[in-house]
Structure 1
Amino acid sequence: MDSTSNRLRDVLAELDWRPEQLIRRINEHRAARGAAPLHVKAAYPWVRGQRPCRDVENDALSVLRRHSGRPLTLVELGWSGPRRRAGRPVDNPCEADVTDLLDSIQGEPMQRRKFLRNLGGVAVTGTALSLLMPGEATALPVPGPGTSVSAPLLARMEETVRALRDLDDTTGSTGGLDWANTIWQGVARTITGSTYDADQAQRLFTAYVEASETYGWMLFDADKHQASQRVYQVGLKVAQQAAGQASPELDYATRNLLASAAYEQAWIGHHGEAETLLAVATRTTGRPIPARLEAVLADRSVFVAGQRRDKEAVFRAQERAHTALGRAADDGLEQPWWTEWLSTEAVDGSTGRALLAAGDADAAEPYLKHRLVRRDDAYPRDQLVVTLDLARLYALSGAHDEAATVAVEQIRAHTAVKSPRLTARLGDLAQSLAPHADIPQVRELLALTGTTV
């Protein structure tokens, strides 16, 4: 610990204050001048050596001077001299302390933060690989007494996380991002600011990992990949904290998060990272996993293999997914609620998409068509993803009227779905068909998307 943290810690000890008490008095001072309150845990980074921003620094200095009865200075607090630009924990989640990481995500929504780059290499895979060598399970450190987590609160958190995923499945990511951020940060505050027993910790961590997977996927769907990657990594850090003795539910949720993170890595062209994340997600621990979870992991493998243009791997993963779905009713394990979206038709849709990405349009077409045999109102975005792939396939083959017809029919059938990822792909399709505006179906698509010729 450096001299900076010792100085502030000494002043707090002199006043017999905990960091939360300092923040409470700072917030009273800020309220008097109309400033927004700080998070209750905001002072913990300061006693670990970080320096507050200038505005907060002045508030803290005023409060400490008033209550200590002496003219404290920035030098005495270790806050003098030029400011160093400290890296944020979310800029390198793999190396960050988990408590600092959870503290750092509070406040501004992740989708509004600025990140300079996508994560890659060990920044993506490091935390995942650490799950292969779990240590002793420990609860997250709670600095001082906190409010005890009640059974009704835990149940309501779990219900809310599930409702968030249902919203994303049916309407896309756009409308729910702020709500998702509120849920994600709220569970984090409960983890760092509450007391709970071992069983409650497992449920709390599981809810957080599930929320991280859903929020991360929503950010991915909104084309906010840098924020999405960091949300996934924060979820993995929490999972790592209890990896040694994780409950089955936490283990399942962690595997699902890893698989979703692998999907995104493949989407942005980081194939090595995607393979590593999938390898950890599918690791063998001697404990069986539910068949539907196996199917989800295989379905993600289908996509990753397609992005690598490995058709043989696509078919192997497809077979694993279908086999797992076929025995789900008889494997004797409770199937996770978040696997309900996957059907045999959805697997075939993934297979068609992967084959198209691998360059085999002829092989892809029957799989894409099979996914669209029945309208799926429960998961309309997934159906739209496959629709756009089929339309792209038709466009590549020169069937421009069919491409436009398929796209228009599905778009009109699912007007409630708002997905920037799909909007961008739809715009690309319309732009590619614009030279064929003499075809009535194409003109309709151009008008629907606002594409100019």
Structure 2
Amino acid sequence: MEPTAVEATPANVLGALLQQLGMRPEQLVTRINERRARRGSFPLSPKAAYSWLRDIPSLPQPDNQADALAVLTARAGRCITASDVGWDLPRPRTRHRHLDAPGDAPLEALLQEISQGDLMDRRNLLMLTGAAATAPALALLLGPAAEAASAVPSGQLNERLVGSIERAVRDLRDIDDSTGSASDELTWGVGIWQSASRVVAQARGRGPLTERLHTAYIELSEQVGWMCFDARRHPQAQRIYHTGMRLARETGTSLTTRHSTANLVSSAAYQAAWLGNHNDAAALLDIAARTPDLPSAAAAVIAERRVYAAGRRHDPEAVHRFRDEALLHLGSPDTRTPWWATWLTKDSVDAATGRAWLGCDQPSRAVPLLRSRVEATSPDYPRDHLYAVLDLADTVHMCGDGGQARELLDQAERLIGTVSSQRMIHRYEALSSAVASV
């Protein structure tokens, strides 16, 4: 009796096809990433295709599947369909993703999931509010989740690797300050964040290099989270902020790491205030302000965020109080100013105060502060200049001066071409419509 042929599994079919075409899984992903880059999507991990080749394979997301079939078709010189590689079977039930709740996820599993590919590009991510939004930050007040390991060498870590991650964070900040969160820069930033997640997940031991790595990763999470916020990818920004908090919860034992975490939490609060989630913003800022032994400049940054949030929730008394606090910290500098806090000046506090009075529906108090901000903003920072011009246009419009508002919007339109900030573009369009309707 002839032996029964073993029916090929979908994974074997795809593997056999790749072998027939002379392609390695990494080459397939490289070609897929070329297609993703052309439409501004984040790159997949180079190892992403391995999950499609397991004995019980995972099926690609629809966009990835379409890209993969297009790549295979081009390579084969004939049409390759989903049924040709076993992808026409019913999709398995969606499994739980750690990124849906980063604050509660096992840290190593969360970082590994982040490093695997396109989770941050998912369209079904939802914003978290209330306890879900603030719990990861609140957990920071409880201290490290477990006793810190004794100081031992940090495994594969070396000065060069950690230094390159630290420099990448600063390079991202420079790019974001000058051009805003353009698609290419954001793709690069998220790619660095995903790669750094893999490094952090694999790092072992404690010691100065590990502490520097953790601090750099938290700073990177703050920067990439801010870029996603500026690109109006709000759920993604929130997940990135929460991942930084999750790392800090488990490993943030040094003061430097805690201070960077306070900055990250205050940026998450700024996003919440911008979106009108005022209770979340206030809770996050209270947590950030309770960080021990904050340098004066870092405390000033948190106070400046509190000025803005107070205006958004229509609390003029708090605007006065936090403005005074920010200026007091700025006027009492110490020698421990973190690099990420050097941007804050009295002009910056004035701008936040002007925006706060605008939020409090007191535009006449905002005008002089915002006019000074427009005049003081350096042309080297076009997004900040555009932000200031839009603030002033909004303010004079509320004061009833439609003519000046239109002149300022004309100025803003000229700046739009130099800035890649979906947040500012959306505000410009909304304000233009409001002014035109008068």
Q: TM-score band (shorter)?
A: 0.7 to 0.9
Matched, 1:36 2:43: no
1:224-269 alpha-carbon deviations (Å, 9 max, x no partner): 11111001001111111113xx222211110000000011111222
Matched, 1:423 2:425: yes
d(CA) in 1 for partners of 2:15 and 2:220? 33
**SS of aligned partner of 1:148:** coil
- 1:109 Cα offset (Å): 4.6
d(CA) in 2 for partners of 1:197 and 1:28? 41
Question: Which residue in the other structure is 2:139 paired with?
Answer: 130
Matched, 1:408 2:410: yes
Matched, 1:343 2:345: yes
- 1:435 Cα offset (Å): 4.5
Instruction: Indicate how the Cα distance of structure 1 residues 59 and 30 shifts in structure 2: closer, same or farther if over 3 A, else same.
Output: farther
- 1:137 Cα offset (Å): 4.4
Question: Which residue in the other structure is 1:266 paired with?
Answer: 273
Give the conservation status (yes or no) of the 8 Å contact 2:48–2:117. no
**SS of aligned partner of 1:362:** helix
- 1:414 Cα offset (Å): 6.8
Question: Which residue in the other structure is 2:264 paired with?
Answer: 257
**SS of aligned partner of 2:263:** helix
1:361-404 alpha-carbon deviations (Å, 9 max, x no partner): 11111111121222313433223212101101222233222112
Amino acid at match of 2:168: T
**SS of aligned partner of 2:103:** coil
Instruction: Indicate how the Cα distance of structure 1 residues 259 and 32 shifts in structure 2: closer, same or farther if over 3 A, else same.
Output: same
Matched, 1:289 2:294: yes
1:179 to 160, 177, 188: 188
d(CA) in 2 for partners of 1:178 and 1:116? 18
d(CA) in 2 for partners of 1:290 and 1:372? 29
Amino acid at match of 2:373: R
Please provide the CA RMSD for this pair.
2.9
Question: Which residue in the other structure is 2:175 paired with?
Answer: 167
Question: Which residue in the other structure is 1:241 paired with?
Answer: 250
Question: Which residue in the other structure is 2:198 paired with?
Answer: 189
d(CA) in 2 for partners of 1:431 and 1:347? 29
d(CA) in 2 for partners of 1:110 and 1:358? 38
Give the conservation status (yes or no) of the 8 Å contact 1:42–1:103. no
d(CA) in 2 for partners of 1:338 and 1:415? 27
Amino acid at match of 2:265: L
- 1:305 Cα offset (Å): 0.6
Give 1:323-334 correspondences, 5 Å limit.
Answer: 323-328=328-333, 331=334, 333-334=335-336
Which residues of structure 1 form unaligned runs of 5+? Answer: 1-26, 44-51, 61-80, 437-453
d(CA) in 2 for partners of 1:82 and 1:172? 39
Instruction: Indicate how the Cα distance of structure 1 residues 110 and 369 shifts in structure 2: closer, same or farther if over 3 A, else same.
Output: farther
2:123 to 103, 114, 123: 114
Matched, 1:220 2:229: yes
Instruction: Indicate how the Cα distance of structure 1 residues 95 and 413 shifts in structure 2: closer, same or farther if over 3 A, else same.
Output: closer
Question: Which residue in the other structure is 2:386 paired with?
Answer: 384
1:229 to 213, 223, 238: 238
1:101-141 alpha-carbon deviations (Å, 9 max, x no partner): 1111124355522234211122221121111111344469x
Give the conservation status (yes or no) of the 8 Å contact 1:111–1:219. no
Matched, 1:300 2:305: yes
- 1:409 Cα offset (Å): 2.7
Matched, 1:369 2:347: no
Question: Which residue in the other structure is 1:154 paired with?
Answer: 162
Instruction: Indicate how the Cα distance of structure 1 residues 146 and 352 shifts in structure 2: closer, same or farther if over 3 A, else same.
Output: closer
**SS of aligned partner of 1:372:** helix
Larger mean Cα displacement after TM superposition, 175-184 or 205-214: 175-184
Amino acid at match of 1:222: A
**SS of aligned partner of 2:294:** coil
Question: Which residue in the other structure is 1:92 paired with?
Answer: 101
Matched, 1:395 2:393: no
**SS of aligned partner of 1:416:** coil
1:3-57 alpha-carbon deviations (Å, 9 max, x no partner): xxxxxxxxxxxxxxxxxxxxxxxx99896363634969989xxxxxxxx966534
Larger mean Cα displacement after TM superposition, 291-300 or 391-400: 391-400
d(CA) in 2 for partners of 1:109 and 1:365? 44
Instruction: Indicate how the Cα distance of structure 1 residues 391 and 219 shifts in structure 2: closer, same or farther if over 3 A, else same.
Output: same
| Matched positions, count | 371
1:211 to 198, 220, 225: 220
**SS of aligned partner of 1:131:** helix
**SS of aligned partner of 2:343:** coil
d(CA) in 1 for partners of 2:339 and 2:172? 13
Instruction: Indicate how the Cα distance of structure 1 residues 83 and 111 shifts in structure 2: closer, same or farther if over 3 A, else same.
Output: closer
Question: Which residue in the other structure is 1:312 paired with?
Answer: 317
Question: Which residue in the other structure is 1:56 paired with?
Answer: 54
2:284 to 268, 277, 286: 277
1:129-179 alpha-carbon deviations (Å, 9 max, x no partner): 111111344469xxxx99611111111111111100111111101241011
d(CA) in 2 for partners of 1:272 and 1:35? 51
Give the conservation status (yes or no) of the 8 Å contact 1:91–1:115. no
d(CA) in 2 for partners of 1:427 and 1:169? 22
d(CA) in 1 for partners of 2:17 and 2:180? 38
Name the TM-score, length of structure 2 as normaliser: 0.78
**SS of aligned partner of 1:185:** helix
Larger mean Cα displacement after TM superposition, 152-161 or 398-407: 398-407
d(CA) in 1 for partners of 2:312 and 2:363? 14
d(CA) in 1 for partners of 2:380 and 2:218? 23
d(CA) in 1 for partners of 2:239 and 2:93? 23
d(CA) in 2 for partners of 1:293 and 1:306? 21
Amino acid at match of 1:185: Q
